[in-house]
């Protein structure tokens, strides 16, 4: 059956997957955004719904320290004996494990694992539990190391041992993303090499024993490094899963590049069928594609629009670092935002901000906002956000004692533009395409005026980071006691659905 990649659109890097009966669970990296580690559920591998987040209590990890691109990296999800386990690296804190009986909610507090390296993974095998990261050995060469662990306490039960140095014996570059699987008579070690960019690739080795010796596979499992014109770049960092019909699949990260070979959406999650030849995993032509065929049992459905429901905090909303919850008042029919004195441009800021992943090049975001600021420097509206160093704002703003509608940019060259506004609510709309963002507005239910067009945040902003573009709401002020911004509606819609 035919399906399209990515299966998770927008900023969703470092995917990891597990199956429980006919249910699939997938997690991705979330970096400085809170809640951390989105959990997606599917019964068919191609239609996914976010059911929660693993880290949803802000005292579980030191989010206030998470600079752009730091924070939560590369989770692995596994299921064993009625319990889900997730392990990941929180930069500055280290590796940790959490567990839960219900992946949508109720994850334990993290237990720290005293092992260095990033991209930790777990293997449950014959009554033992193994843990691996890309920790180096004494020779300081890049390596994958393995240890035995108690996943509930994080206690290491054996010394960590180097089990592989990567496919290229002459010094691999960025050997990371290890997962060990026990399949048939073999232990397989899957990893990424080449770094998360155009040279990225997935490599493998196998051994009869979990501790090695691991013999490298003589073919690359997956890479788009030698292939142009597929519309896919940087494929790497993958995780295998066997479906209930005995077919194998891999989820991996990749980007959909523009002409400059960067994607402002960030790294997304792709799915490919896996075959076995000579007891090695083989993926089609070894390259990832946007349109694929695979032994699926359900059709991929078109993606819908997303409508905010202000009666509760929906799990899809992303906040920055350790949110100040008192600044968000979900009132059912509206959301009241208290403008923060932290601004979006503050590198470790905790601004009033909530956003969704920009899921496709072509999409719209629309909000009705009522904000009549009283102090100069206060503003509220929509933002297209990559990081504190790169974003657009489309807002109602007070300057020189007057209120303006304004488009501004942080980072890059762009002259802010403003027109005087009326009091009362305004509808703001951003229409995104591969090449540009259009900014439109309307007062009092009149038709939208399309006002100005800007280029997407690309190479200089999104391309240099680990995250991707978000679109959402924010409110910030130049003075305390500013009035609240009333958000009357918010929705995001995919304008062109190719499926």
Catalytic residue list contains 14: yes
Residue choice 6, 7, 9, 14 for contact with ligand 6LW (CB under 6 A):
14
**Distance, CA of 425 to CA of 213 (rounded, Å):** 67
Binding of ligand 6LW by 268 (CB under 6 A): no
Beta bridge partners of residue 238, listed in sequence order:
252
In the complex, least distance from residue 229 CB atom to ligand 6LW, rounded to whole angstroms: 23
The residue (of 2 and 112) whose beta carbon lies closer to ligand 6LW is 112
**Distance, CA of 313 to CA of 37 (rounded, Å):** 16
Residue choice 26, 74, 180, 427 for contact with ligand 6LW (CB under 6 A):
74
Binding of ligand 6LW by 251 (CB under 6 A): no
Binding of ligand 6LW by 118 (CB under 6 A): yes
The residue (of 318 and 477) whose beta carbon lies closer to ligand 6LW is 318
Catalytic residue list contains 176: yes
Residue choice 466, 474, 485, 490 for contact with ligand 6LW (CB under 6 A):
466
DSSP assignments along 87-121, one per residue? EEEETTTEEEEEEESSTTS-PPPPEEE---SSS-E
In the complex, least distance from residue 202 CB atom to ligand 6LW, rounded to whole angstroms: 10
> 119, 148, 176, 368: which is the annotated catalytic residue?
176
**Distance, CA of 440 to CA of 401 (rounded, Å):** 24
In the complex, least distance from residue 47 CB atom to ligand 6LW, rounded to whole angstroms: 25
Binding of ligand 6LW by 29 (CB under 6 A): yes
Residue count, binding to ligand 6LW (CB under 6 A): 15
The residue (of 200 and 429) whose beta carbon lies closer to ligand 6LW is 200
Give which of 241, 227, 244, 248 is closest to 290, Cα–Cα. Answer: 227
Place of tokens 């997303």: 306
Binding of ligand 6LW by 177 (CB under 6 A): yes
Specify whether the CB–CB gap between 124 and 132 falls below 8 A: no
Give which of 254, 248, 250, 219 is closest to 236, Cα–Cα. Answer: 254
**Distance, CA of 60 to CA of 81 (rounded, Å):** 25
The residue (of 195 and 294) whose beta carbon lies closer to ligand 6LW is 195
Residue choice 196, 203, 352, 378 for contact with ligand 6LW (CB under 6 A):
196
Number of Cβ within a 10 Å radius of residue 477: 25
**Tell me, what DSSP letter sits at residue 59?**
T
Query: E-assigned strands of 211-339?
Result: 215-216, 222-223, 233-242, 248-255, 268-277, 280-282, 291-293, 306-307, 319-320, 328-330, 335-337
Residue choice 58, 119, 368, 379 for contact with ligand 6LW (CB under 6 A):
119
Residues forming the active site: 14, 176
Residues near ligand 6LW (CB under 6 A) are 13-14, 29, 73-74, 118-119, 176-177, 192, 196, 236-237, 253, 466
């Amino acid at each position: 059956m035919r399906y399209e990649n990515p299966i998770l659109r927008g900023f969703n890097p470092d995917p990891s997957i597990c199956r429980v009966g006919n249910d699939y669970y997938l997690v991705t990296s979330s970096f400085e955004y809170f809640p951390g580690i989105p959990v997606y559920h599917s019964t068919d591998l191609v239609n996914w719904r976010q059911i929660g987040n693993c880290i949803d209590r802000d005292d579980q990890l030191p989010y206030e320290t998470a600079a752009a691109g730091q924070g939560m990296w590369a989770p692995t999800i596994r299921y064993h004996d009625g319990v889900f386990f997730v392990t990941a690296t929180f930069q500055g804190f280290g590796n940790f494990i959490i567990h839960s009986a219900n992946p949508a909610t109720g994850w334990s507090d993290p237990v720290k694992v005293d092992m260095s390296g990033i991209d930790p993974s777990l293997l449950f095998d014959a009554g033992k539990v193994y843990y691996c990261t890309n920790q180096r050995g004494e020779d300081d060469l890049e390596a994958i190391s393995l240890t035995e662990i108690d996943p509930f306490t994080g206690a290491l039960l054996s010394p960590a041992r180097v089990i592989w140095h990567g496919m290229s014996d002459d010094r691999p570059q960025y050997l990371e993303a290890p997962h060990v699987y026990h399949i048939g008579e073999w232990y397989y070690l899957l990893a990424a090499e080449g770094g998360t960019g155009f040279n990225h690739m997935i490599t493998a080795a196998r051994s009869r024993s979990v501790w090695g010796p691991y013999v490298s596979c003589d073919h690359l499992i997956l890479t788009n490094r030698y292939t142009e014109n597929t519309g896919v770049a940087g494929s790497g960092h993958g995780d295998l899963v066997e479906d209930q019909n005995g077919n194998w699949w891999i989820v991996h990260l990749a980007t959909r590049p523009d002409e400059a070979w960067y994607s402002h959406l960030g790294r997304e999650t792709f799915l490919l069928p896996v075959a076995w030849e000579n007891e090695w995993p083989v993926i089609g032509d070894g390259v990832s594609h946007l349109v694929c065929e695979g032994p699926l049992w359900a059709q991929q459905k078109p993606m819908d629009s997303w409508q905010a429901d202000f009666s509760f905090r929906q799990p899809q909303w992303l906040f920055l670092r350790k949110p100040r919850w008192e600044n968000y008042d979900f009132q059912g029919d509206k959301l009241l935002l208290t403008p923060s004195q932290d601004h979006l441009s503050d590198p470790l800021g905790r601004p009033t901000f909530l956003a969704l992943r920009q899921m496709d090049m072509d999409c719209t975001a629309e909000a009705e906002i009522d904000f009549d600021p009283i102090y100069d420097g206060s503003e509220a509206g929509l933002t297209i956000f990559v990081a504190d160093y790169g974003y657009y704002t489309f807002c109602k703003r007070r300057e020189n004692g007057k209120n303006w509608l304004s488009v501004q940019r942080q980072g890059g060259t762009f002259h802010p533009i403003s027109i005087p506004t009326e009091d009362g609510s305004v509808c703001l709309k951003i229409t995104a395409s591969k090449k540009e963002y259009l900014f439109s507005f309307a007062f009092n239910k009149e038709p939208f005026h399309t006002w100005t067009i800007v280029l997407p945040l690309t190479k200089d902003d999104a391309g240099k980071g680990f995250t991707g573009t978000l679109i959402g709401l924010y409110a910030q002020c130049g003075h305390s006691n500013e009035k609240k911004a009333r958000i009357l509606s918010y929705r995001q819609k995919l304008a062109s659905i190719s499926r």
